[in-house]
């Protein structure tokens, strides 16, 4: 049976990915040495293709990790002596805060209920915090934080390193690179790739911060300290044997995304999201979990389902339409639908028609 994955990660594979995998095997990419010229070429190409899609300036570097979860730990180890500040409104932002606790740092958090956006009061965030952490799109709840609120902290907290989790919103999110120091994602969400690669786009200011910490005698980690990573990245290599196939495929998908046009991608994403919200708002059985329209995600849509989601999810599953269940404590009560670039308007229409049919049946 043909299946379409509307799950918010791992997700639907990007169209044409299978051909890129085939090509990679024909070119023996999985067997090449990560110290070869061929790998350096792949590394360079992927960084440039990603720059074309995300638009970051030349003084930002790209470091490859195993996941976004790893990136959380690396950011804390490299940019914070003691105080990080976390805006927590769901499971992923909470996990970042938890890791800061596990590393025995002294993190602060501002927390709001699941499904809500923040009322940002910059003056209430201590001036001493070293790193401010924002989750652009909270995948567990479907809340998308307006980037302007994030950028306003650049003026109120000029010394803090500002990080932005764009795991389930890049490359849809439009980043102002003058206002942030670290933007990161893992590839199994919006990029439609197999899991196992986390990408960190990092300002030179963040690397300098890490150098200050390392010079003071405090550990910034070992093989994935920013010092170790920068030394290799400048040579288009990585400290360890990396996910070479993943890095290669990311370059190919970025080429495809750039060719389609990033403006077009945002336009399409908005169009599919509007169609779905309109459908669900008019439908008795469903209600968008996020009440405030100004913070409703365009890339991960979360709906409350009257009478629970399990019957609907298994009905759709039998038709090959795989949706996300509610996250964590919301399991069984909600559906989560990924509106990622790999999902076409036609696939969205097919999904909505199947939901109509479920109600009639
Ligand atoms: C999935 C997700 C993560 C974690 O990504 P991993 O690749 O599993 O480490 C972090 N943040 C957000 C917003 C996510 O959706």
Q: List the beta strands (DSSP E) in the chain.
A: 4-6, 61-65, 84-88, 108-111, 131-135, 137-138, 143-144, 161-165, 182-186, 198-202, 286-288, 300-305, 321-325, 334-338
For residue 198, the ligand 1 atom closest to its alpha carbon is 7
- Rounded to two decimals, what is the model's pTM? 0.98
pLDDT of amino acid 283: 95
- For the cut 80, the answer to whether the pLDDT of residue 40 exceeds it is yes
Q: Give residue 86 CA to ligand 1 midpoint distance, Å.
A: 15
Report residue 332's pLDDT band, with 50, 70 and 90 as the boundaries: very high
Q: Which of 64, 74, 92, when mutated, tests ligand 1's pocket best, judged by the most ligand atoms within 8 Å of its CB?
A: 92
CB contact at 8 A, 313 and 321: no
Per the prediction, the chain carries an average pLDDT of 97
pLDDT of amino acid 79: 98
* 167 CB near ligand 1 (under 6 Å): yes
- For the cut 80, the answer to whether the pLDDT of residue 361 exceeds it is no
Distance CA 224, CA 109 (A): 26
Q: Which of 140, 186, 196, when mutated, tests ligand 1's pocket best, judged by the most ligand atoms within 8 Å of its CB?
A: 186
Q: Give residue 186 CA to ligand 1 midpoint distance, Å.
A: 7
How far apart are the two ends of the chain, measured CA to CA in Å? 21
Distance CA 88, CA 74 (A): 19
pLDDT of amino acid 123: 93
- For the cut 90, the answer to whether the pLDDT of residue 222 exceeds it is yes
* 72 CB near ligand 1 (under 6 Å): no
For residue 135, the ligand 1 atom closest to its alpha carbon is 13
Q: Give residue 111 CA to ligand 1 midpoint distance, Å.
A: 19
Q: Using one digit for the tens of pLDDT, what is the confidence trace for 165-190?
A: 999 999 999 999 999 999 999 999 99
* 190 CB near ligand 1 (under 6 Å): no
- For the cut 90, the answer to whether the pLDDT of residue 360 exceeds it is no
DSSP state of 29: G
pLDDT of amino acid 47: 98
Q: Using one digit for the tens of pLDDT, what is the confidence trace for 281-326?
A: 999 999 999 999 999 999 999 999 999 999 999 999 999 999 999 9
* 163 CB near ligand 1 (under 6 Å): no
pLDDT of amino acid 275: 98
- For the cut 80, the answer to whether the pLDDT of residue 204 exceeds it is yes
Distance CA 70, CA 184 (A): 11
For residue 140, the ligand 1 atom closest to its alpha carbon is 15
Contacts 24+ apart (CB under 8 A), 327-333: 327/90, 327/91, 327/139, 327/140, 327/141, 328/91, 328/140, 329/114, 330/114, 330/140, 330/289, 330/302, 332/308, 333/304, 333/305, 333/308, 333/309
Return the residue whose CA atom lies nearest to atom 2 of ligand 1: 167
> Smallest Cα–Cα separation from 241: which of 25, 38, 28, 39?
39
């Amino acid at each position: 049976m043909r299946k379409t994955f509307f799950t918010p990660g791992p997700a639907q594979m990007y169209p044409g990915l299978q051909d890129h995998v085939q090509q990679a095997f024909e070119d023996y990419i999985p067997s090449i040495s990560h110290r070869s010229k061929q790998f350096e070429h792949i590394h360079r190409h992927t960084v440039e293709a990603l720059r074309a899609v995300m638009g970051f300036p030349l003084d930002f570097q790209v470091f490859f990790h195993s996941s976004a979860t790893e990136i959380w730990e690396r950011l804390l180890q490299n940019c914070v002596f003691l105080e990080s500040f976390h805006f927590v409104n769901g499971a992923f932002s909470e996990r970042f805060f938890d890791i800061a606790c596990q590393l025995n740092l002294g993190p602060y958090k501002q927390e709001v209920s699941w499904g809500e956006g923040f009322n940002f009061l910059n003056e209430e965030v201590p001036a001493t915090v070293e790193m401010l952490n924002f989750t652009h799109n909270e995948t567990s709840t479907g809340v998308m934080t307006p980037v302007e609120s994030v950028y306003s902290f650049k003026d109120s907290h000029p010394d803090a390193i500002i990080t932005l989790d764009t795991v389930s919103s890049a490359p849809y999110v439009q980043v102002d690179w003058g206002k942030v120091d670290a933007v990161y994602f893992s590839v199994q969400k919006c990029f439609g790739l197999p899991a196992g690669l986390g990408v960190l786009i990092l300002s030179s200011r963040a690397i300098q911060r890490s150098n200050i910490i390392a010079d003071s005698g405090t550990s910034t980690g070992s093989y994935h300290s920013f010092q170790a990573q920068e030394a290799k990245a400048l040579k288009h290599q990585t400290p360890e044997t990396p996910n070479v196939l993943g890095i290669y495929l990311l370059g190919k998908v970025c080429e495809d995304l750039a060719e389609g046009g990033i403006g077009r991608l945002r336009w399409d994403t908005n169009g599919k999201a509007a169609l779905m919200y309109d459908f669900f708002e008019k439908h008795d059985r469903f209600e968008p979990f996020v009440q405030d329209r100004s913070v409703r995600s365009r890339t991960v849509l979360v709906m409350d389902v009257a009478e629970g989601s399990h019957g609907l999810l298994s009905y759709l599953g039998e038709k090959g339409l795989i949706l996300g269940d509610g996250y964590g404590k919301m399991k069984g009560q909600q559906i989560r639908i990924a509106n990622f670039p790999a999902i076409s308007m036609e696939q969205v229409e097919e999904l909505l028609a199947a939901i109509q049919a479920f109600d009639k049946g």
